Amino acid sequence: MSFKKTINEEQEILLEYNDFSVAELIASGSIPLEPGMMNRLGFSEKNQEAYHMTNYHKYLKDMISNQNKKVQLSCFTKGGPELARLPSNPNIVIKLKGTTVIKGKTDIWSLTSVRGRRWLSISSSGYVGARAKKVSKLHNLVLGVLQRVTNKAQEDQEEIIDMYNSTETERRNVISWLSDKEKVTLYRLYMKEMEKLLNKHYKVLVDYISDAADFSYDEVILTKWKIIEVKALDFDNGVKTALKDTGVPYAGVILKKDLKDLKI
């Protein structure tokens, strides 16, 4: 990697920290879905078709322009009745084809950073029984990574926080107090150590994404995707006109009650 490219990437990392979104994601013990890492771990799959629901008034234009780029998108290949009650009030269903970053058997609780990269939110709260034990195991492994990399990143180690027995706010404060140089070091170490962890405990991650929620639909993260077609949800509320001259096919209307039957 060239020196100029390295500097540019470090500046992008610092921009994220100024917004504290990455600090929050790391402090919460989330897992970055970095495409190269996920490919090396064996999760990537090319030419995967999936569905994505959104609001065409707000996002369709951006989605058309983001085709074939490294933008990550949360999609599904198996529908469920819960999709008809999404609080985001989507009005279109988009069918896409792209490269899988990761795929779960249910909702895997992915979050988006300010740069558009998605992370797995590994919170051990709200679970009970066997599922709670599995999630807690992965969460503790990730906190172990955070403990090690924070210790290494801090130049002044007079006071080292116990990541296992601290609140998310306390962990976020520790990260936000680091110097710019320390933040870049932390981010690099976190990515490096996270890949080592997932290589060693691959099955723990697979167990998590197979049983992360009770929803009927699944979640697959796509990148470098292309739109195959767009359907209006319940009625054509201007979608066909909006797609005119875009080169994106309009495929009619799908009813909310039929979302549960979608499957690829």
pLDDT digits (tens, 9 = 90+) for 69-102: 999 999 999 999 999 888 778 999 999 999 999 9
Q: Where are the domains of the chain?
A: 3-261
Predicted TM-score (pTM) of this structure: 0.85
For residue 114, count CB atoms less than 10 angstroms from its CB and return exposed for 0-12, middle for 13-18, buried for 19 or more: middle
Asked whether the beta carbons of 143 and 171 are under 8 A apart, the reply is no
Alpha-carbon distance 125 to 142, whole Å? Answer: 15
Give the chain's mean pLDDT.
85
Model pLDDT for residues 129-182, shown as the tens digit of each residue: 777 888 888 989 999 998 888 887 765 556 677 888 888 888 888 888 888 888
Residue 85 CA to its chain's centroid (Å): 21
Q: What is the largest CA-CA distance in the chain?
A: 64
Asked whether the beta carbons of 119 and 74 are under 8 A apart, the reply is no
Which residues, in sequence order, are bridge partners of residue 45? 100
Asked whether the beta carbons of 168 and 28 are under 8 A apart, the reply is yes
Residue 63 pLDDT > 90: yes
Give the chain's length: 264
3-state secondary structure of 103: strand
Neighbours of 189 (CB within 10 A): 18
To 10 degrees, the CA torsion angle through 182, 187, 188, 189? 80
